[in-house]
């Protein structure tokens, strides 16, 4: 069976000594950082070290790709916690020399090319390819979230607001998109949207190993941006931000991208947005694609700390050690990781509740949905509420 992509990362794989630090410790405590291992699945292939071992065994001919192996590999949420806690560092760069997410992605690419993917993953690819989004909803409904708002189509404004799939079609994401748009309008930012001309960003397709589908989506978006003269993009979703910033540039993209929290932070600093909260304790959940993948930790906290009446309290695991919500790497759509009392979102919600916070602040529509589900499953609806950063800003600015 073909292992072309795995061969490309062979050198990376062979550097792993199997020490097991990534297996599930946080500051040397016996606490799983990997959301797959945290589910108590109990098998070594459910750990970062185990995935590298699988890759080694595939290359050595001791294993071959199979559907059970595919189901295991597709549980990974691409959270990159294994990258930041690996002790094998490059002395020159100070960064880990073993990139487990890239190894997992290589195996997934091989699985795609060998037509050996689980049904939920296959269905995700098909929905995006046929509909331009994973929700199987007509593209014409991408701007439905703008009803009863003043949001305009892009026609040369300074910024394009790229909303993405969750912001366009998911009920929770649509709510977040409206708050972001209102905050930008209140701050005097000129922006427009693409509506039906917007396509999936491709981040999750690439994370799931469908590089061909990713390139199609990326080139479609890049061409649209070029045709409309778009040079500045505000991303609602950290997933979009990540792939625009790190993957599109190699395909000829010529635009700058910022996450919406970066824009709001600037508006608050300049005085264009002013806010005063009535008094509340808030904790912030770091999205993996904003934090570990792109090192943006302080900007959302600067916003929260700048609002009088808010008290920011940190969860024990925060910033680079923040625990994943479970929705990354395509899992938001495929649910390969599964649920249960030790699902990632429920673990994270319990950590938030331990802080005594009334508000669980988020900066990602996928995190918002995952954590709201976790709050419901934990029965914490009366004591803890998920609110995105823009929602908090608008409430503080007088929108109730």
The answer to whether residues 106 and 152 belong to one domain is no
Residue 46 has pLDDT above 50, yes or no: yes
Overall number of domains in the chain? 3
Residue 181 belongs to a domain: yes
From the list 350, 294, 298, the residue with the least C-alpha distance to 84 is 294
Q: What is the mean pLDDT of residues 191-207?
A: 97
Tell me which of 65, 85, 117 is where a domain ends: 117
**In whole angstroms, what is the distance from residue 205 CA to residue 330 CA?**
7
The CATH number that applies at residue 152 is 3.40.50.1860
Tell me which of 236, 265, 294 is where a domain ends: 265
pLDDT tens figures, 321-350 = 999 999 999 999 999 998 889 999 999 999
Q: What pLDDT score was predicted for residue 400? A: 40
The answer to whether residues 146 and 234 belong to one domain is yes
At 152 the three-state DSSP class reads coil
Q: What pLDDT score was predicted for residue 359? A: 98
The CATH number that applies at residue 344 is 3.40.50
Q: What pLDDT score was predicted for residue 29? A: 57
Q: What is the pTM of this model?
A: 0.94
Residue 124 belongs to a domain: no
Whole-number Cα distances in Å, 380 to 10, 216, 358, 376, 391: 46, 42, 10, 6, 20
Residue 368, C-beta contacts closer than 8 angstroms, at least 6 positions apart: 172, 173, 176, 362, 386, 388
Q: What is the mean pLDDT of residues 184-192?
A: 97
The answer to whether residues 259 and 139 belong to one domain is yes
Residue 254 domain boundaries: 135-265
The answer to whether residues 102 and 152 belong to one domain is no
Q: What is the mean pLDDT of residues 53-70?
A: 95
The answer to whether residues 172 and 230 belong to one domain is yes
Residue 130 belongs to a domain: no
- Phi first, then psi: what are they for 89, rounded to 5°? -105, 145
Q: In which band, very low, low, confident or very high, does the pLDDT at 358 lie, cut at 50, 70 and 90?
A: very high
**In whole angstroms, what is the distance from residue 260 CA to residue 306 CA?**
16
pLDDT tens figures, 241-299 = 999 999 998 899 999 999 999 999 999 999 999 888 888 999 999 999 999 999 999 99
**In whole angstroms, what is the distance from residue 188 CA to residue 202 CA?**
30
**pLDDT > 90 in the chain, percent:** 83
Residue 127 belongs to a domain: no
Residue 243 belongs to a domain: yes
Least confident of 83-97, 113-127, 163-177: 83-97
Q: What pLDDT score was predicted for residue 24? A: 62
Q: What is the mean pLDDT of residues 212-241?
A: 97
DSSP string spanning 47-110? Answer: SHHHHHHHHHHHHHTS----HHHHHHHTT-----HHHHH---B-TTT-SBS--HHHHHHHHHHH
């Amino acid at each position: 069976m073909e292992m072309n992509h795995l061969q490309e990362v062979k050198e990376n794989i062979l550097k792993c000594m199997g020490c097991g630090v990534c297996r599930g410790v946080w500051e040397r405590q016996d606490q799983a950082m990997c959301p797959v291992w945290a589910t108590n699945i109990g098998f070594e292939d459910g750990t970062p070290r185990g995935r590298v071992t699988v890759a080694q065994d595939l290359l050595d001919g001791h294993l071959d790709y199979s559907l059970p192996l595919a189901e295991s590999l597709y549980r990974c949420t691409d959270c990159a916690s294994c990258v930041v806690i690996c002790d094998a560092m490059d002395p020159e760069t100070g960064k880990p020399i073993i990139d487990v997410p890239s190894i997992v992605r290589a195996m997934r690419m091989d699985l795609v090319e060998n037509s050996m993917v689980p049904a939920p993953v296959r269905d995700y690819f098909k929905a995006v390819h046929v509909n331009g989004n994973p929700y199987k909803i007509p593209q014409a409904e991408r701007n439905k979230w703008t009803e009863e708002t003043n949001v305009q189509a892009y026609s040369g404004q300074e910024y394009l607001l790229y909303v993405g799939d969750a912001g366009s079609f998911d009920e929770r994401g649509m709510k977040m998109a409206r708050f972001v748009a209102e905050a930008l309008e209140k701050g005097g930012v000129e922006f427009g949207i693409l509506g039906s001309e917007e396509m999936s960003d491709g981040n999750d397709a690439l994370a799931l190993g469908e590089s061909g589908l990713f390139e199609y989506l990326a080139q479609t978006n890049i061409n649209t941006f070029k045709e409309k003269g778009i040079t500045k993009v505000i991303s609602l979703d950290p997933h979009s931000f990540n792939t625009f910033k790190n993957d599109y540039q190699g395909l000829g993209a010529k635009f700058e991208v910022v996450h919406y929290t970066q824009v709001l932070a600037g508006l608050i600093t300049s005085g264009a947005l002013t806010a005063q909260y009535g008094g509340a304790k808030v904790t912030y959940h770091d999205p993996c694609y904003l934090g570990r993948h792109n090192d943006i930790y302080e900007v959302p906290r600067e916003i929260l700390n700048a609002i009088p009446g808010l008290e920011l309290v940190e969860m024990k695991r925060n910033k680079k050690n923040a625990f994943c919500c479970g929705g990354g790497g395509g899992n938001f759509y495929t649910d390969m990781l599964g649920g249960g009392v030790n699902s990632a979102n429920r673990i994270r919600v319990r950590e938030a509740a331990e802080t005594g916070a009334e508000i669980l602040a988020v900066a990602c529509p996928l995190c918002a949905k995952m954590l709201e589900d976790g709050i419901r499953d934990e029965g914490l609806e009366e004591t803890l509420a998920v609110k995105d950063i823009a929602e908090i800003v608008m409430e503080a600015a007088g929108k109730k």
